[in-house]
Every structure is written in C-alpha cells, then in structure tokens.
Structure 1
Amino acid sequence: MRELITVKNFFNVLLFIWVIFIPFKNAIYQISTILLILFFIVYVIKNKDIQCVKDVLYKYKDIFFAFALILLSMTISNVINDVSNRESWRLELSYVYRYGLIMYILLYFYSKEFFSKRLLFLFVLSALSIQALDGLYQSIMGYDFFKHNIANLRSGLKGATFNRNTFGFFMGVGVILSFYAITKEKLLDNKKNLILISLFVLFIYCTLFSYSRAIWVALTAAFLIFTVLNYKNIKVRYIVFAIIILSIVTIIFFNVDYLGNRLEELLNGSSSHREQIWLYSIEQIKKKPIFGWGLDASSIYGLKSFFSPHNIIIEILFDLGWFGFMSFFLLLIMIVKEILKQKSVKLFTLLVFFLVASQFDQSIISGKIFINSFVLLGLFVFIDRIDKIRKINNA
C-alpha cells in the first residue's frame, strides 16, 4: 500500500482528475487546476529544483515568447478599451494560470518522467469514453447520467456539456484517437482491439447524433488529410474496415430523417445565421483593426442574439485586432513547424480537425473546454523535444 502512495502517483491522480473533468467544466475541474499548480510550487520549493524550472523555460523559450505576445496583445486591447462592464481581465488572468502555467507544469513534470505519452493518451481516451457512454445513456434515457441534461436523438445529443457542438467536438476527437489506437494493433486480433473498435463505433454514433455539422466537416477534412499524407502505409484490411464503416454511416443517413435533414442543410450551405454573425463582426473589426475591442468584446458589441462569432479567426480579430491575430498565428506556425520536424501525420491530422472545427464554433478566448483541449494537443506536440534530449543522454 505504501508503495502506491508516492509523489509521482499522487501527481498522476491529480492529472487524471484534471483531464477527466475538463469536459464537465465544473468545480472539480477548477479545484484540480489549482491543486496541480500548488503541487508544482510545493514540489519545486521542497526539492530546490529551480535549475530544472529554468531549463524547461529555456527549452521552450520560443513557445513562451509567443504566449507572452498573446498576453501582451490582450493587455493592450483591455487597456485601450472600456472593459469595466465585462470579464476581460479575468479572462486574461485565466490565460496565465489555467493554460500557460498548466502547460508549463505538464512540460516540467514530463521532463521529470512523472508520466508518459502513453499514460496521458490513456487519460484522454478515458475522459472521452466517459463522455461517449454518457451520450449513449442520454440517447436511451432522454437525459445524461451526470447532470440530468435533457436531450435525445431527435434534438441532438449534448451529454454533460449542455451544447451539441461541444459534445460533438469531444466525440470527433474520440473518433480520431480511437482510430489511431486501432491502427497500432492488428485488426480484430485481440480483446483490447475489440474494445477499441467498440469505442470507435460509439464515438461515431455520438458524433452523428450530436447533429454537429461543423464536426462532420472537420472529421471529413481530417481523414482526407490523413489518407492523402499516409496513403503509402494504409493496409488493405483498414481500407475494407473503412468501407464497412462508411457504408453503415451512409445507410444511417438515408434511414434517419433527422440526420438526413441536417446533412441536406449542410449540403445546401445553411449556416444557422453564421454568415450574418461573421459579416456583422467583420464590420466591427474594421472600426478597430489594430488592437480590437478588448477581450469578451463580442458579448457587448457583437450581435445580441449570439454569444460569440463562431469562428476563432474572426473572434481574435474582433477582440485583439491584427496584433493579437499575428501573435496567435506565430504560435500556430511554431506548432506546425514542430509537427513537420517530427513528420507526424497523426498530430497534423488532429491539428487540422481542431482548426476546421473552430471555423464554425468554439472559442479561443473564453472556451475553457476548447483551449484546454488545445493545451493537451500542444503538449503532445512539444514534449518530443524532451524525448530527443533523453535519447541523446541515453545513447
């Protein structure tokens, strides 16, 4: 029993809780965020590990420079605009500790070998699986298990997220990650892969019945990119598997009226008022193009019927102007450059999914769920630097 109670295991329990409760966006998620920060501070002080703190910061100085530029753009935009009647400063503070600091803490403890890529992947897949099972429960009972959020196959599944697009986003990530896990194993060769295939099918089911057209488009784009970039390594058995899945999905679309109607809306270019939101937002952007209107501006100066611009590019330009946009773009370039260095088709495919999905929904300014998901994606991208140093030291 004492062997289980170690500093490393305690950290991994905190990490697991944090990952699991990101989709819930509740008090447990908030508490686990604070506990991770407190654990880091106590660990560094107790072990007098300032040198490692500096080493990690130096190793990722380019990333944190880009992040500092983003914070600078936020500060300038908030200072030059009247933000007294909104939560602009709170949102900027959240960026510091909820995303920037947490990213640094995870990089630090990965460098200390507190957790592995595989363990983090299992945590993420577990979190997504819980949401998918909750979605299945909701489709049967008419409400989700955790929050009794009412939804069904007619209105579209929301799980515990209270939003079809957010739930669909998680299910889309689940489709991609379970697919990656399946391709690591021999198809139908063992019980573990049968479980993964079952999860893959469940994620597809929940993605379809979330009725999130943005996620359908994002998944299609992601798998097209994956196929084009990885066509030489695709085996016949996976082509057969893909044909079977696509055939089943096609049959479902033709036999479920609600799905068919949503697909027809998508093919006809119905944007659910997004064009109206985007056009209005662009006109507002033109009024303050350099530094924008300040954080959370769309809730005040955007269309009153809608919470956000439903497009992260327009959202950044609206709130932070071109200076903020270029700051975010610099960080994106660094992420793409890192992925290209690794020649990782899987990470690039996942990035494409995130970017396409965020053109129709999600928020890069106030969306806790989406930004934390992006932090995890960034972590998988950038920990490769630590792995390379380990290989050199072990050689």
Structure 2
Amino acid sequence: MRSSTLYIFSPLLFFMLYFRASMDPILNLTKVGGIGFGALLNLLVVVYFMFVCLKNKFVIPKSFFYVWGAFILIGLFSIFQSPDKVTSLRSFFAVLTYFSIFNMSYYFCRTKKDVSFLVMFIVLSAVVPFGFSIFEIIFPDGSTSRNGFRLSGSFSHPNIYAFYLVLVSSLCFFSLNQRVLTFPPRFIQFAKVILLLSLVCLVLTKTRSAWLGFIVVIAVYGMIYNRRYLLYLTVFGLIVLAIPSVQERVLEIFSGNSVDELTLGESLNSYAWRKVVWTASWDFILQKPLFGHGYDTFSYYFLDFFPLEENKGFDAHNTYVQIAFDMGFLGALSYLLIFPVIFYRVFVIYSLDRSGGAVIIGLMVSYLVVGYSDNMLFYLSYNWYFWLVLGAFFYASRHYKVQRENE
C-alpha cells in the first residue's frame, strides 16, 4: 500500500480515509457541545486541499469548479441567510470536505492502477467495521432498542453503516465483474467473502432505504448490461423476505399511511410521517424560493411549520426537500447539476467496459434515488468514501481511453 499514489501523495490523508469508517466511536467521545475532534478532521481536509491547490500555484483543472462550483457558492451564500450561522457553517463544512476529497482524487488517481487500488482500499476499510459487527451480534443488548436489534458496526447510526455497506457491496460486485482494471487473485477471493458479509450485515441494519439502494444498483446493472441479474435479484429478494424481521420492516410501510385513516392509539409509519412533514414545509420553502432559509435550518424552523410535534426539531429526511428549504430551488438545481457532468465521464468508462461501468452508473442512480427518503448529505463518513469513488472514476476516466480532451 505504501507504493500507492495516494500514500505517496499524502500518508496522513491515506490513513484518515482508511480509518474514517472506524473512527465514529472515538470521535463521539471527544464531542463537547456538539463539536469534537471530528470537526478538526473536517477542517484539516479542507485546509489541506487548499494547501495542495496553493502548492500547484492554482494551476488546476477547470473541472474543480464546474462540477461543484455553483452548489458551493450558493451554499456559502445561504449561510448568511441563516438565523443560526454557527450551525449552518459547521454543517456546510462537511459538504466542503466532500468537495475537497472528490477533487483531490485528481492528484492521486492518474492511472487505471490507481483506480484499482482505491477500490481495494475502500473494500479493505470494511475489515474493522465487520469486527465491530461480530461483537454486536455476539452481544446484541447494546444494539437493541424499542425498534429491535439493528446493526451499526463502528458507525454512529445503523443508517450510515447501511449505506457504507451498499458502497462496499457495490465495489465488490464491480471488482468481480469489470473487464478493464487488474486486481490480484487473492483480492478477488477476498471480495467474494466481503460481498457476502456486507449483504448479511446490510440486512441486519434494518435500513429499508439502503436495501432499496442496493436493489437499484443491481437493477440498473441488470437493465443496461445483464438481464439475468434481474432474475437473481428477484430470487434473492424472495429469500430475504422470508426472514420475519425483514417482513416486519417492509410491511410497516403499508400500515398507518394516512392521517385520516388512523384509529385511536395508532401512529403514522415513518414514510407517511415524512410525507406529512414535506407537505407542511412547502409554504416555508415558497417564502424564500431562490436561496432558502440558510444551510441546515430545516430543523431550526421545524416547530414553526409542523405543530404536530411539540418539543423536538427534525431534518427533512429528503435530500431534495432539505436543500430546497435550506438553499432554495437554485441550490437544489445546482446540486442536481453535479451529477450529469459525472455521468458523462462515467459513460466514457461504460463505453469501454460495459459491465464495470454499469455498476458505477447503478451506484450513482442509487444515491439519487435514496436521497428521496434520507438526508444523504448528512452522513459524513459514508460520503467521504462515496465522493472518493466518484472522484476517482471522474478523473481517471480519461485514462480508460487516450486523452479525449484536455483538463
């Protein structure tokens, strides 16, 4: 690993990225007033990215800006709109780390070999979280709440672990099916084991949106490359649905769907409750439709537009509603425009490696789909890996083919 371009580029960044999947338990212990060592790591990533740009005398690819530029600028402007600027700035700093990690890939993803290494790097980062998972399974009391047992690994919440597992599973699947990159035979065998463990742990997280996310990855792969996988997906889904806890989580979606249909003592299911919240927030969104109320202010205003809740504010649990509320429709549009540019580069890969490209396309579609029911941008540790992957394929796509264009 020390011979990798990433390690040569920055040993510190190398170890930060590798162990970030395992650091939540330690970082949570350092928090005082909601701020801890994790905030320092975020600052370090952004400052280091600025240092790298400065070291290169700001002779940098225009792609640094045309992918993320509008979203970053509108986000920074939205902070001035916020009634709680400290919280908004702190939250938006997480987005700046995604921007930084995505773009730093330009410096350490210069060949197809570098992409192979990063795929292995992220898959291998799952070893420690799996160790935590085994401990949870042996001693389940600490991971059991009123919602039953939910696996969280080394992450602060089962949902974050679940989406990380979707990413790891997808990269394992990618390594087993792609046709262009080279992986050591031992890693291919290891990836088969990790794929199986990831799927088992994914089921045990009981995170329905992550289940949907993995289904989307395989469904997209099946539709645009190998339709047999649609059959495999159906069979696998039926087998998993035979598990009582999975049945219960799925059937819950169809109970308590309407406020008008509730009887005494019943409550809305989580999805129906979210739809009520989204509807209630609409009038507030229209009050400031262009630039929004300020980054990460949905929970700040929550009790003002949702009187059914008396004490606690909540986030939107919908990336697009959250961004429209915080940054206005211009912010939501600038966020969505990040993806077509990346899709264009990924389709370069797809044209040369339809199997591998189909997995990465599926992964991106999955991220957009699950954004409908989850605050994807708030899952920091997962996003570091997700945007690292997209940055790697975005910048290395030019090496799948002789230079198609100058950066």
TM-score (norm 2): 0.75
1:258 aligns with 2:245: yes
Partner of 1:166: 160
Partner of 2:393: 381
Contact 2:105/2:395 (8 A) holds in 1:
no
Distance 1:377 1:171, change over 3 A: same
Partner of 2:212: 217
1:146-183 deviation line (CA, Å, top 9, x unaligned):
xxx63489421122223222121112222222222233
Contact 2:74/2:331 (8 A) holds in 1:
yes
- The separation in 2 between residues aligned to 1:213 and 1:6, in whole angstroms, is 37
Distance 1:23 1:40, change over 3 A: same
Shift of 1:204: 1.0
1:197 aligns with 2:192: yes
Shift of 1:340: 2.5
Shift of 1:361: 1.3
Shift of 1:355: 1.4
1:316 aligns with 2:328: no
Shift of 1:216: 1.4
Contact 1:208/1:259 (8 A) holds in 2:
yes
Matched residue type, 1:353: S
Partner of 2:370: 357
Distance 1:351 1:6, change over 3 A: closer
Pick aligned residue for 2:175 from 164, 181, 189: 181
- The separation in 2 between residues aligned to 1:249 and 1:356, in whole angstroms, is 19
Contact 1:253/1:260 (8 A) holds in 2:
yes
Partner of 1:57: 61
Partner of 2:263: none
Structure 1: give runs of 5+ residues left out of the alignment.
144-148
Structure 2: give runs of 5+ residues left out of the alignment.
28-35, 180-184, 258-268, 351-356
Shift of 1:21: 0.9
- The separation in 1 between residues aligned to 2:4 and 2:246, in whole angstroms, is 49
- The separation in 2 between residues aligned to 1:41 and 1:287, in whole angstroms, is 36
Equivalent runs, 1:216-235 vs 2, <5 Å: 216-231=211-226
1:139 aligns with 2:137: yes
* SS across alignment from 1:359: coil
- The separation in 1 between residues aligned to 2:383 and 2:337, in whole angstroms, is 17
- The separation in 1 between residues aligned to 2:338 and 2:114, in whole angstroms, is 24
Partner of 1:68: 69
- The separation in 2 between residues aligned to 1:167 and 1:44, in whole angstroms, is 32
Shift of 1:13: 5.9
Distance 1:246 1:221, change over 3 A: same
Partner of 1:290: 290
Partner of 1:24: 23
Partner of 2:354: none
Shift of 1:337: 2.2
Shift of 1:367: 3.5
Contact 1:103/1:375 (8 A) holds in 2:
yes
Distance 1:296 1:178, change over 3 A: same
Equivalent runs, 1:7-18 vs 2, <5 Å: 8-9=7-8, 11-12=10-11, 14-18=13-17
| Structural RMSD (CA) | 3.7
Contact 1:157/1:164 (8 A) holds in 2:
yes
Partner of 2:143: 150
Partner of 2:120: 122
TM-score (norm 1): 0.77
Matched residue type, 1:317: A
Shift of 1:8: 4.7
Distance 1:181 1:369, change over 3 A: same
Shift of 1:392: 8.2
- The separation in 2 between residues aligned to 1:106 and 1:248, in whole angstroms, is 35
1:283-319 deviation line (CA, Å, top 9, x unaligned):
3212221111101111211256453101101011010
Partner of 2:300: 300
1:90-121 deviation line (CA, Å, top 9, x unaligned):
3334444x23333333312334x798111111
- The separation in 1 between residues aligned to 2:199 and 2:71, in whole angstroms, is 35
Number of residue pairs matched?
A: 363
